[in-house]
Structure 1
């Protein structure tokens, strides 16, 4: 099959400074490790979910037993530095730095930390010009690029006095914009599947007019196989969180039927890692859900069918 060409460059993962008060930007990384640990890390150059937007770092570590450790703190803007030509971010003592296909990072906060190396195994990707909303729409900028769709990850996690050696797989993307998310979107679904051979990244974003922006990316161990806005995303079953009564996606299906590639995949939530109300910025009830999920399905390329199965991280944001 013919593979799509990427227009992504290292510049896309650099800082995108904007001058208005609603400007925000963040670098996101996550890792799932062979010993059952996982982590999520965010460098918020200006935090979208705090008014006024200020620099913060956030770190989440999840243990195999289901325990959750969180570190968050604000960083003095005087101690924040970032390149506009490549991913090279330093916020206080925490940093994220690209060196070729390798990303080196360290983040510590509130007695926990990560010191990891992400070695990219699939080239970076952006859809079109990297903007989620078409350029020129009410002067809105909402950028999203996938700098590292898949990576081999190794290093150390720190939980109080405990040091845990880890290795596994990871992911890194980058968002920026000049508009608060609740003024653009009602919410979104997102997840990434790092199967032993295939990488699948999906999203489905709801606009204020109730329409949806679906996005699906598939790569193998060589390069991108598919990047499309045309696929089927379905919440097959919802469940209720018993303490709050809020509903969340229990089973999601992803389907794509092209000439050279077909995908059928189901994700089933096995545990809720995060269910947090976002800071009260407006009259809307805003929530961040993060899930650990099992996935299972099949992918067919040029008539050859292969089965996929594993565990993954997924999320659901609700802005309105």
Structure 2
């Protein structure tokens, strides 16, 4: 199951078509590889090309190829909007050397019970795969953000920039986190940070990377006990202003970290009306970005139906990408799940979640998250030289349909 560039053709005919499918080579785009279709007509009729809607990925404001641009304070702050589908999110991961891992979503949304409702949701997963979850909902007046620095507070929870990176405090002694993210690669955005879908440019997903390769230290709190944290992490910041169901289907996300390199891959399918899917791959060394690619292929292998969710889930995912400065291959064993959950069931727990569930049911469908953490070997080609790099990875497959 693959993705690639997708030309669209409108066939003006009322006669029978004989269709033959044949694989196509690796082509620009992200996600699943489509197939060319050879059409044999019993009668010759004109074919009129119907242009697919454009997709613009991470270009500079003037339209040129996206560069690696340092984050400004404005990039890092919230971007409030009156749009109903406004959703803005800070997402943080902490993978510990001791086998625990955790992740946090700090969300501001207009699709809850009130416009501008903030929420904090976080999960700690133990070495024996026990999920410990806390969802905290707040009122708009509980959200405080400084304007002269990055310092965000939601109730008693805080996320702020420090001279070394970022500091996070969420939850309490029963379940919580106090973490320091020490940046090894400065935060950045690619181009203007935007993926724009459609000729009108109304459907936009914005993303930047405050913490692409941080070391993480601190503490997890579990039932009054302290678990020391030492390991690696990741931070991104994103927002959308329209219904994501307009432009996104199944997501594949990979965060890979070794002693020498980081690989970040995000890919999702777009509806057939668009000329291509969403894809972005970024490689860093220990101090800087060395390659960016939007020519990405994700191949699902060993696909079987997951009985609980009804989703067709792969036991292995192959990530490949090509940029001007590199070529990338990485294979994730996704069969060893550390998490699997129904998003709608999770949302039932809180008032803001029930409101969000109504929106999802109305406009999206039946989302499920699958996550796995484990070893990965990255094959990286730069400057004509190929090296194999062993590391650890956090992999997500998010079904939105």
TM-score after normalising by structure 1: 0.90
Q: Which residue of 1 aligns with 2:86?
A: 23
Contact 1:207 1:213 in 2 (8 A): yes
Q: CA deviation at 1:297?
A: 3.3
Q: Does 1:222 align with 2:287?
A: yes
Aligned to 2:304: 239
TM-score w.r.t. structure 2 length? 0.73
- Does 2:240 match 1:151? no
Instruction: Check conservation: 2:290, 2:325, Cα contact below 8 A.
Output: no
- Specify the SS of the correspondent of 1:6: strand
Shift of 1:209: 2.5
After superposition, what is the alpha-carbon deviation per residue over 1:177-236, rounded to whole angstroms, capped at 9, x for unaligned? 211222332232112101111110001122222641111000001200111211322223
1:277 and 2:320 correspond: no
Q: Is contact 1:26–1:47 with CA below 8 Å preserved after alignment?
A: no
1:212 corresponding residue in structure 2:
277
Q: Comparing 237-246 with 190-199, which one deviates more in the overlay?
A: 237-246
Cα separation, partners in 2 of 1:45 and 1:83, compared to 1, 3 Å = farther
Return the offset for 1:241.
2.6
Residues 1:67 and 2:130 aligned together: yes
User: Quick one: which of 229, 245, 249 aligns to 1:166?
Assistant: 229
| 1:110–1:315 Cα change, 3 Å | farther
**187-196 or 276-285, larger mean C-alpha shift:** 276-285
Partner of 2:71: 8
Instruction: Identify unmatched segments of 5+ residues in structure 1.
Output: none
Question: For residues 285 and 242 of structure 1, what CA distance do their matches in structure 2 show?
Answer: 14
2:182 is matched with 119
Q: After TM superposition, where is structure 1 displaced by more than 6 Å over at least 4 residues in a row?
A: none
Aligned equivalents of 2:183 and 2:189: distance in 1?
A: 15
Counterpart of 2:74 in 1: which secondary structure?
Answer: helix
**Matches of 2:131 and 2:88, distance apart in 1:** 25
Q: Structure 1 stretch 169-178 or stretch 260-269: which is displaced more?
A: 260-269
Tell whether the 8 Å contact from 2:254 to 2:395 is kept in structure 1 after alignment.
Answer: yes
Q: Would you say the 8 A contact 2:295–2:323 is kept in 1?
A: no
More displaced, 8-17 or 82-91? 82-91
Q: Deviations over 1:59-98 (max 9, x none)?
A: 1001112111000021122111124565321000001001
Deviations 1:238-267 (A, max 9, x none): 233343342223211122355652322111
**Shift in alpha-carbon separation, 1:110–1:286, aligned structure 2, 3 A:** farther
Q: Which moved more, 1:133-142 or 1:248-257?
A: 133-142
Change (3 A) 1:84 1:136: farther
CA shift at 1:287, angstroms?
2.2
Give SS of 1:12's match.
helix
Aligned with 2:378 (options 290, 297, 302):
297
**Are the equivalent residues in 2 in contact too, given 1:192–1:314 (CA < 8 A)?**
yes
Q: CA–CA distance in 2 between the matches of 1:274 and 1:88?
A: 32
The one of the two structures with greater contact order (alpha-carbon pairs below 8 A, sep at least 6) is 2
Question: 2:199 & 2:324 partners in 1: Cα distance?
Answer: 33
Specify the alignment match of 2:244 in structure 1.
Answer: 181
Aligned partners of 2:173 and 2:225 also within 8 Å: no
Deviation of 1:306 after TM superposition, in Å, equals: 2.4
In the TM superposition, residue 135 of structure 1 has moved relative to its aligned partner by 9.1
Structure-2 change in CA distance of 1:55 and 1:257 (3 Å): closer
Do 1:11 and 1:85's aligned partners in 2 also have CA atoms closer than 8 Å? no
Q: 2:367 aligns with which of 286, 293, 299?
A: 286
Unaligned runs of 5+ in 2: 1-66, 345-356
Which of 278-287 and 200-209 deviates more? 278-287
Per-residue CA deviations over 1:96-146 (Å, capped at 9, x if unaligned) read: 001234101100069310000001111212221111225973433321111
Change (3 A) 1:244 1:136: closer
1:86-101 pair list within 5 angstroms:
86-101=149-164
Contact 2:292 2:323 in 1 (8 A): no
**Residue 252 of structure 1: aligned partner:** 317
Secondary structure in structure 1 of the residue aligned to 2:245: helix
Computed over aligned residues only, the root mean square deviation of the Cα atoms, in angstroms, reads 2.3
